Amino acid sequence: MTLGLVFGLRLRQVEGLLESVLQLMGLALAVPDHTTLSRRARTWQSRNKRHEQEGRPGGALHVLIDSSGLQIYGAGQWLEEKHGARSRRGWRKLHLALDADSGEIVAHTLTDQDTGDVSQVAPLLDQIDGPIGQFTADGAYDGKPTYDAVIDHSAAAGIVIPPRANAVEPTDDRPPGQRDQHIAAIGRDGRMKWQVSNGYGKRSLVETAIRRYKSIIGRRLRARSLPGQQTEVAIGCAVLNRMLDCAPRNPSAARQPRYDQPFQRPPSVQFHIRAPTPFARTLDIRSRDDILATVKWIRDSIGPVDILVNNAGSASKVLNARFLGEDEWNSTVNVNLTAVFNLTQAVLPDMIAKGEGTVITVSSLAALNPNLLGSAAYGAAKAGVKNFMTFLHNTYRNQGIRDDDHPAGRDQHADHGQPGTASSGGRARRDARSA
């Protein structure tokens, strides 16, 4: 399930990936099928490793808390896609607690969309061992229940929550609490100065963590049941923490060269650094002879072409088909379509002989909407390129040849994927990360 979250794969795809990896490693191990993984996700129990503060100066955490919504795919969305019926969107709320110093997610919960943020403060703090030095959250957490939950966990914790705009100081004789002191400081110095003096700006780190979760793991939950979704979130948070552990704790210091001690190389160690050598060659891609001569020169000088990227493009000055001349039509089609065909045909024999290769063509949205941009000749050429790449995929997908046409400016492109994948140029991968 961890591999599925990292690479954006469904459970069936994870099953196939693991079988391939174990086969390459020569290990005769059984791989659970996708139904078994789905059942285990509903009953999976995490190690419930509570965050330790060993080795931390002072031993106290600066905890940041926030929440955000994750979309779920249920019957409502299925009816909307299948029959066009409008439905109410379903959401789950992801609540995170972050260590402000390390960026590590130290606690998390997943609830339905109607659960209040304040109600999850105590469950989040219960996952943290040791004292909390400072607790920071936004104004949604303002109120006595939050202050009581934090004080119950760590009596000496400093609580930094902006009070509501209409909050007033108490008029009785009781000693002022932390919230009362915040109200007085804001009334005396202003809200901006209060934020600077209390380090409230660090709260943006937990927003960054939520953004990191949605960018890497995804904005939508894949599991259907709430227990399975909670398992998915737990694994996703563990993945982000593992990625964070691989990065230097102080990147700016890691980039600083040290001059205090000279570098001493062991006598038995030798370093051999070989940088790739770039090659450049000018040709007229409208000429088939130039293309064939260039591919032959590459084969003789470097070796067979492994990856071909068709990126050249040219649009005609005349947009209206009524006034478009034959010469301008031929020139546009030759650059955008015929050159792609000639280049691809020139490198295909070596790729087929080797049993692997990749052909990438940067297409255009004009292939999908001819009136969007370009001219009649340009749109027709780009549409031809799209269909040509689909034909290559259908013909050579079982021979190790990857074919991909990417409409520039579109997020989800028509990726024909791994060899042997049954897809077509009209289908876009739901997740571009699986390309």
Is residue 91 within 8 A of residue 111, CB to CB? The reply is: no
Per annotation, catalytic residue among 141, 147, 378, 396:
378
The answer on pLDDT for 262 being more than 60 is no
Looking at the fold, whether 339 and 401 belong to one and the same domain comes out as yes
Structural domain boundaries, residue 99: 57-249
Cα 399 to Cα 351: distance, rounded to the nearest angstrom: 9
Q: Judging by DSSP bridges, how do beta strands 357-364 and 401-408 pair with one another?
A: parallel
Please report whether residue 328 resides in a domain. Answer: yes
- Mean pLDDT, range 206-226, rounded to an integer: 88
Cα 262 to Cα 270: distance, rounded to the nearest angstrom: 17
| Among 133, 127, 179, CA closest to 156 | 133
Looking at the fold, whether 236 and 106 belong to one and the same domain comes out as yes
CATH number at residue 374: 3.40.50.720
pLDDT at 137: 94
The better pLDDT of the pair 421, 225 is held by: 225
pLDDT at 426: 36
Looking at the fold, whether 92 and 217 belong to one and the same domain comes out as yes
The answer on pLDDT for 320 being more than 80 is no
Please report whether residue 69 resides in a domain. Answer: yes
Tell me whether residue 396 is one of the annotated catalytic residues.
no
**Placement of tokens 């934020």 in the chain:** 195
Looking at the fold, whether 70 and 204 belong to one and the same domain comes out as yes
Looking at the fold, whether 71 and 189 belong to one and the same domain comes out as yes
Cα 329 to Cα 408: distance, rounded to the nearest angstrom: 22
Looking at the fold, whether 300 and 409 belong to one and the same domain comes out as yes
Looking at the fold, whether 355 and 395 belong to one and the same domain comes out as yes
Residue-wise pLDDT tens digits, 120-151? 999 999 999 889 999 999 999 999 999 999 99
Is residue 16 within 8 A of residue 31, CB to CB? The reply is: no
- Mean pLDDT, range 69-89, rounded to an integer: 64
Looking at the fold, whether 77 and 194 belong to one and the same domain comes out as yes
Please report whether residue 271 resides in a domain. Answer: no
Quote the number of domains for the chain.
3
pLDDT at 26: 86
pLDDT at 83: 61
50-59, 94-103, 204-213, 272-281: least confident range: 50-59
Looking at the fold, whether 84 and 233 belong to one and the same domain comes out as yes
Residue-wise pLDDT tens digits, 397-414? 888 888 877 666 544 433
Q: What is the CA radius of gyration of the chain?
A: 29
Looking at the fold, whether 361 and 299 belong to one and the same domain comes out as yes
Please report whether residue 278 resides in a domain. Answer: no
Strand, coil or helix: 85: coil
What is the number of residues in the chain?
435
Position 6 confidence tier, pLDDT thresholds 50, 70, 90:
confident
- Mean pLDDT, range 317-333, rounded to an integer: 82
- Mean pLDDT, range 262-283, rounded to an integer: 57
pLDDT at 248: 63
Looking at the fold, whether 161 and 304 belong to one and the same domain comes out as no
Q: Which helix (H) or strand (E) holds 5?
A: helix 2-7
Name the H helices within 26-165: 34-43, 75-83, 121-125, 144-153
Q: Which helix (H) or strand (E) holds 234?
A: helix 226-246
Please report whether residue 273 resides in a domain. Answer: no
CATH number at residue 219: 3.30.420
pLDDT at 278: 75
pLDDT at 253: 46
Looking at the fold, whether 110 and 230 belong to one and the same domain comes out as yes
Provide the residue type at 59 as one letter.
G
The Cβ-side half-sphere exposure at 96, using a 13 Å CA radius, reads 32
Please report whether residue 159 resides in a domain. Answer: yes
Provide the residue type at 434 as one letter.
S
Mean pLDDT of the chain: 78
Please report whether residue 261 resides in a domain. Answer: no
Report long-range pairs for 101-107 (Cβ below 8 Å, ≥24 apart): 101/56, 101/61, 101/62, 102/244, 102/249, 103/205, 103/209, 103/244, 104/51, 104/241, 104/244, 105/209, 105/237, 105/240, 105/241, 106/51, 106/61, 106/63, 107/51
Edge-to-edge order in the sheet of strand 307-310? 307-310, 357-364, 401-408, 414-415
pLDDT at 276: 61
Please report whether residue 277 resides in a domain. Answer: no
